[in-house]
Amino acid sequence: MAKGIGRNRVRATVIVPWWNHPELIGDFAEAVGSERADEVLIMDNASEPEVAHSLDELLGRRCGMTVVHRNTNSQLQALTEGVRLARNETIVFLNNDVVRRAVGWLSMLVKSIEPGVFCGAQLREVEGVKYLDGWCWGFRREDFERIGGYDLTFEEPAYWADVEISARAQAHGITLKQIDLPLHHLESVSSRPLQRSERFWQVFERNRQRLMERLHGGLGVDVVEQA
């Protein structure tokens, strides 16, 4: 896992929200460290000190990624902050629970991203809405900002927020496109322990209701900006 990314860099910023789970670092470093991304922002959402140190050492110092330490655990706010920090116009949101099947997945994704097109690894449909699953998708910054970014009123864990932003993007004329990538998502690694709590499902349902309100309200750009 060399620190340098070489001359043939993929001109994109990869933004990754991270909270604890040090066991994911090895596979993640293999999946992303070999992709020659121009910039990788690890948005550390108040991980435990030993995990934060591992992120600095294993992803920062060894892999040349930028670790941004935050004081709160909010995925949507971390992604929003990452967009503001990014130095590239093409941006990819990526979960930390991924495993590489083959080298080159990032360049495949980035080559497909163009103005007016959001691309991702998985296109799904729920509540009559086609959406890009939030674990891996990319866009041009101007399109993300034009539609208002994420609706930050969704509670964490922010289930349904990716459905809402996809619906809003389509309402503003943006096309959603699935790209078959050699990348595997482990799914729900961070949230699985939380799913045993009653609060998780209360938040899940409130977020679903928020989505339905947005769908019935016309999906304008009146979303809440980050403080």
Q: What is the tens place of the pLDDT at every residue in 148-170? A: 999 999 999 999 999 999 999 99
Residue 94 and residue 77 in contact, taking contact as beta carbons nearer than 8 Å: no
pLDDT in tens, 40-52: 999 999 999 999 9
Q: What residues have CB less than 8 Å from 154, skipping those under 6 apart?
A: 76, 160, 161, 164, 207, 210
Cα–Cα distance for residue pair 110/212, rounded to 1 Å: 31
127 pLDDT tier (thresholds 50, 70, 90): confident
- Closest CA relative to residue 155, chosen from 147, 146, 164: 164
Which of 157, 91, 162, 99 has its CA nearest to residue 131? Answer: 162
Q: Verify cis geometry, omega within 30 degrees of 0, for the bond prior to 49.
A: no
pLDDT at 179 over 60: yes
Overall average pLDDT of the 93-110 stretch: 97
